[in-house]
Amino acid sequence: MYGLWVCAASIAGARRSLGVVRMLLLGDTHRNEAFTRKAFVRAKELGCAHIIQLGDFGYGWNWLQLNDTLAVCRFAASVSLMVDEFGIGFCFLDGNHENFDQLVNHPLGPDGRREVTPNVWHLPRGYRWEIDGVRFLVCGGATSVDRLARTPSVSWWAQEAVTQADVDACGDESTDVLLTHDAPMTPAFFENVSTTRYGIQADLDVLRNKLLLEQVLLATNPQITVHGHLHRHFVQDLGDGRRMIGLAHDRAALHRAALVVDTQASGLVEFLEKPASNQAKAGGS
């Protein structure tokens, strides 16, 4: 489904062209509030209107009981307050560490997204939108290699894995930017599927997920693909000017876990600069 959205205000009020829009793409947050606040601060400094988080957001692991009948995800509530404080919109893909049973309880809105707390939006698999002529497509999901050691519907949810239905939902219409949680399989990218140290079933689960995402990649032919999940930053040349970019996670430096997409920048992507190291002043007493 297509949608033109403004996360920082009311989606219903978005009726004009957005023009140039800068957005910060962010790797796995794992419900880390301090790391997420750093991302909001940096997004504000860089003039970004939105943050899009690429899965393993951490939805639904801890709850705040507001009254006898109402509880909210603590982390999502904290992010909602950051949205209000910084005036920057926030959307997230699902990863393999979300409470899917609770996530899908939130209904999809008219534009195809689901609001989990005020102004914090989940982008379901196959969601598309366009800003300033740049087309975006998302497909979250991955497999937990340690799922056999996890408890179903407590620390692991079967809905985490990408399915053929998700691939079908993505369609075959071309896109400019593909955002995923897991890395699609590519001919030059075998290193992370050869073994997971969790046995052959885990290896096959990982391979199956990546091959399904490869179908999306090949069908939609994006200029850039950006994902999280692997917890490391890298750039892979896919040929013909196309790139796949991996983002690190909440335990890494922000310049490795985030980048900026500018709808009018050359190549769309701007990498964050590494902070200058503190140097001791030269000279003696």
Domain-located, residue 256: yes
Query: Does residue 10 sit within a domain?
Result: no
Q: Give the other-Cβ count within 10 Å of 134's Cβ.
A: 17
In a domain, 198, yes or no: yes
Q: Is residue 177 part of a domain?
A: yes
Tally the domains of the chain: 1
Range of the domain at 51: 21-271
CATH number at residue 196: 3.60.21.10
Predicted pLDDT of residue 195: 61
> What per-residue confidence (pLDDT) applies to 87?
97
Query: Does the residue 279 lie in any domain?
Result: no
Position 188 scores a pLDDT of 62
Query: How far apart are the C-alpha atoms of 96 and 228, rounded to whole Å?
Result: 11
Residue with tokens 């959205």: 5
DSSP code of residue 75 = H
What pTM, to 2 d.p., does this model score?
0.90
Q: What is the pLDDT of residue 5?
A: 45
Per-residue model confidence (pLDDT) at position 194:
55
**The pLDDT value given to residue 161:** 98
Q: Cβ distance 143 to 209 under 8 Å?
A: yes
SS3 204: helix
Which residue ranges of the chain lie beneath pLDDT 70? 1-20, 187-195, 278-285
- Residue 259: beta bridge partners? 25, 271
Cβ neighbors of 115 (< 8 A, separation 6 or more) are: 106, 109, 121, 122
